[in-house]
């Protein structure tokens, strides 16, 4: 992570580690960066000019046992994915390095708990498929990502990918539309930066030279340094490749087990749709070329 992002992460984790869960500064599980417009108001401009706020990414905090406390009081600790028992499972801090995740218009990061199983002498984290699969529906629905080996992507984006695939839009088309959303956010941030810089210069011209000249000089030095979309030391924008989306789609649709049949066998989404097709009246499905009825069913 970048320095400013690293500072944001460390400050967040300090709160997470020292305060009870109900005091964590999260909205929908995400810690959001400070608002640039509010931070750079006239008072803020006089003290510093920090375009780095515009580079910061959201961080998702995943601590499933907190949600277990709310929804499954009798099973407060998650099960070890190896021995399937919770008696000897203990919390063991947090993962050291957050995972990068793909959001609607930017990348973000996700951090989760680590656990030890004293029976199996293993440790595992909250992103482990064996943990995610055991969660009650209400908790698993709260978790917003499909996790891959080193990163993750919003479930809502994978559902968009599913819609677009079923409607004949390939991975290239999906990536292009996602890139457009990410670039829109980048350009809005860039414009906000230069508009604020212009306001700062105007204020400097109207204010005390002794106070404002230093600020102005720093700001002008910073001019033209907002950086490009992919500049790893600044905005650090990123949209995964077509092959990444193909891999996610293959795992999501064909490989990941999502439903237990009456015979106790876990099946993929592909098989689930096939079984549903056999059970739902053909009249209902006629004309539903986009499979939306099935989407509503599952
Ligand atoms: Zn175990």
The model's pLDDT over 231-250, given as tens digits with 9 standing for 90+, comes to: 998 899 999 999 999 888 88
The winner for highest mean pLDDT among 11-15, 269-273, 292-296 is 11-15
CB proximity list for 152: less than 8 A, separation 6 or greater: 99, 100, 101, 102, 110, 127, 145, 146
What separation in angstroms does the CA of 123 have from each of 13, 24, 106, 113?
A: 20, 25, 31, 11
The larger pLDDT score, comparing residue 286 to residue 116, is at 116
Task: Find out whether 291 and 273 touch, Cβ atoms under 8 Å.
Answer: yes
Ligand 1 centre to CA of 68 (Å) is: 19
Q: What is the pLDDT of residue 297?
A: 43
**pLDDT band at 32; cut points 50, 70, 90:** very high
Ligand 1 centre to CA of 260 (Å) is: 23
Task: Find out whether 73 and 122 touch, Cβ atoms under 8 Å.
Answer: no
Ligand 1 centre to CA of 86 (Å) is: 8
Please give the Cα distance from 134 to 130 (Å, whole number): 7
Ligand 1 centre to CA of 146 (Å) is: 24
Ligand 1 centre to CA of 89 (Å) is: 7
Q: What is the pLDDT of residue 259?
A: 74
Coil, strand, or helix at residue 16? helix
Quick one: which of 141, 58, 142, 62 has its CA closest to 102? 58
Owner of token pair 């984006």: 157
The winner for highest mean pLDDT among 28-37, 92-101, 210-219 is 92-101
Ligand 1 centre to CA of 141 (Å) is: 25
Ligand 1 centre to CA of 115 (Å) is: 10
pTM beyond 0.75, yes or no: yes
Ligand 1 centre to CA of 132 (Å) is: 16
Coil, strand, or helix at residue 72? coil
Ligand 1 centre to CA of 61 (Å) is: 24
Task: Find out whether 272 and 259 touch, Cβ atoms under 8 Å.
Answer: yes
Span 147-169, average pLDDT: 86
Quick one: which of 47, 54, 62 has its CA closest to 12? 62
Ligand 1 centre to CA of 128 (Å) is: 13
Token couple for 136: 């009650």
């Amino acid at each position: 992570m970048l320095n400013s992002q690293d500072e944001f992460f460390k400050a967040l984790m300090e709160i997470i580690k020292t305060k009870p869960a109900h005091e964590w500064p999260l909205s929908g599980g995400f810690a959001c960066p400070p608002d640039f417009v509010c931070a750079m108001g006239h008072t803020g401009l006089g003290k510093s000019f920090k375009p780095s706020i515009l580079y910061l990414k959201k961080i998702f905090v995943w601590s499933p046992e907190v949600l277990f406390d709310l929804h499954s009081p009798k099973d407060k600790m998650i099960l070890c994915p190896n021995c399937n028992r919770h008696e000897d499972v203990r919390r063991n801090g947090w993962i050291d390095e957050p995972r990068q995740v793909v959001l609607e218009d930017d990348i973000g990061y996700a951090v989760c708990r680590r656990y030890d199983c004293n029976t199996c002498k293993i440790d595992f984290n909250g992103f482990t498929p064996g943990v995610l699969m055991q969660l009650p529906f209400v908790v698993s629905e709260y978790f917003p990502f499909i996790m891959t080996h080193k990163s993750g992507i919003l479930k809502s984006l994978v559902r968009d990918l599913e819609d677009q695939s079923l409607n004949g839009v390939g991975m290239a088309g999906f990536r292009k539309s996602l890139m457009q959303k990410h670039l829109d956010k980048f350009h809005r941030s860039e414009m906000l930066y230069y508009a604020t810089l212009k306001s700062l210069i105007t204020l400097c011209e109207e204010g005390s030279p002794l106070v404002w000249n230093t600020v102005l000089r720093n700001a002008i030095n910073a001019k033209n340094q907002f950086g490009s979309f992919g500049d790893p030391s600044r905005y650090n924008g990123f949209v995964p490749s077509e092959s990444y989306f193909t891999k996610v789609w293959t795992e999501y649709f064909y490989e990941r087990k999502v439903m237990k049949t009456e015979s106790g066998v876990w099946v993929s989404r592909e098989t689930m749709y096939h079984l549903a097709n056999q059970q739902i009246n053909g009249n209902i499905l006629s004309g539903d070329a986009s499979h939306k009825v099935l989407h509503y069913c599952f």
